[in-house]
Each structure stands twice: as structure tokens, then as C-alpha cells.
Copies of this chain bind each other. A is one copy, B any other.
């Protein structure tokens, strides 16, 4: 079957399926389910019974957790080419995890059993997955440490730099963060309030470190931000 050639392209470019031969990829592909998602739509809710492993082909999702007191924490952004898994793939859990599309997006999904089959037949996939998860774990552990050890302003600096690295687009006047990112989003990502984010961004705007509009942020002076984020 020679159906999805560009899709197969995406797969072989992803970290997870790197090094898997073309015919194997075709087989893997045929086991997955493709879907399209509009902004705000959920890729999965925690507890989704059927599909558990997702590869983002195009677009971007935000992975967030909702606390019972109403506060939301953005765990990470999942960009195209990246995978994510609903934790319930392995276990039921307390606070719901949800992946919302941040822009129009497409993704492929596999259910748990299929994925396990794939790993059994191609252990490299398991190793790649393991590497990915360990890397993410390291990321969240670092942010956990930063949340404990740093002040809000420093955390926001790091957040912007992280997001910039992943999703920045170079423009003449700086590096534009290439999707709708509100003050509230930044607050949820850094563990503060939209008010505090607003004040800090205003302050940075005066210093010409950033320029911002409604849900759009351009980093004008990344160097200054880096220096600040590292010195506190």
C-alpha cells in the first residue's frame, strides 16, 4: 500500500521512528488514525478509552492540567513532529491532563495495544520512546526546580526563551512567537497570574527587551533576557 507518502515523510522525520525502514513505516502508518483539530479542540482528555499515543503532524497543542481549585498549569507545548501520550495509557490518574490545539492541527493516533505490538516487533521504537520520555521528564524536573527556586520574573524570562526556541520565527525586528500566546497562558506556564505577567511584560517593553500586542510577543533582545534569566 502506497497511500500516505507525505505522512510517511513526517514519521521518518520524527525522533520516535527515526531509523525504521520505509516498509515498516508503511505498516505502522496503516495502524494509526489520523485526525484534524481546530483551535481549542482537545486532542485527548485524560481517560480517553481508545487512543493513547499521538504524533503531531502539523500545528501545535498545549498539554495542560487542571487543578480542582480551578487553576490551570501548562505542562508543555507539543509541536509538530513531537509525540505525546495520554498517561492513562498506563494508569488512571487524579488531575485531568488535556491536550488542546493552539492552532489548526493534525495528528496520528495509535492505541495502547498497537503501540505495544510495535515496540515488541521493533524494540528501537521502545528505546526512542524511552529517550523521549526521559528527556521530557528532565524538562519538567528542571521547571519544577525553577518554580521552587526562582522568582516570577526570572521564570517568565525562562519561559519566553524556552517557547521562543521551540516556536520562534525570526523577523526583522526580533523573534516572533508564532502562535497566540496570552498573558494568561504565560501565567499558567510559569505559575503566576496574568496581572503579574502583564506588569513584567510592560516593564520589559520599556527596556526594549520585548514588543507585545494582543496574544503576540516578539523578543527584541534575547541576549538581555538570557542574561537576566541566568543571573536572577
Contacts and interface: CB of A to CB of B under 8 A. Distances in A.
A38 B36 CA distance: 55
Contact of A116 (B119, B127, B133, B143): B127
Interface in A58-96: 65, 67, 69, 71, 73, 75, 85, 87, 89-91, 93-95
Contacts of A120: 123-124, 127
Interface in A122-151: 123-124, 126-127, 129-131, 133-138, 140-150
Given A69-B149, A87-B134, 15 more contacts: A65-B141, A69-B232, A71-B148, A90-B131, A116-B127, A120-B123, A120-B124, A120-B127, A129-B130, A137-B140, A140-B140, A140-B141, A143-B144, A147-B147, A148-B191
A136 B85 CA distance: 14
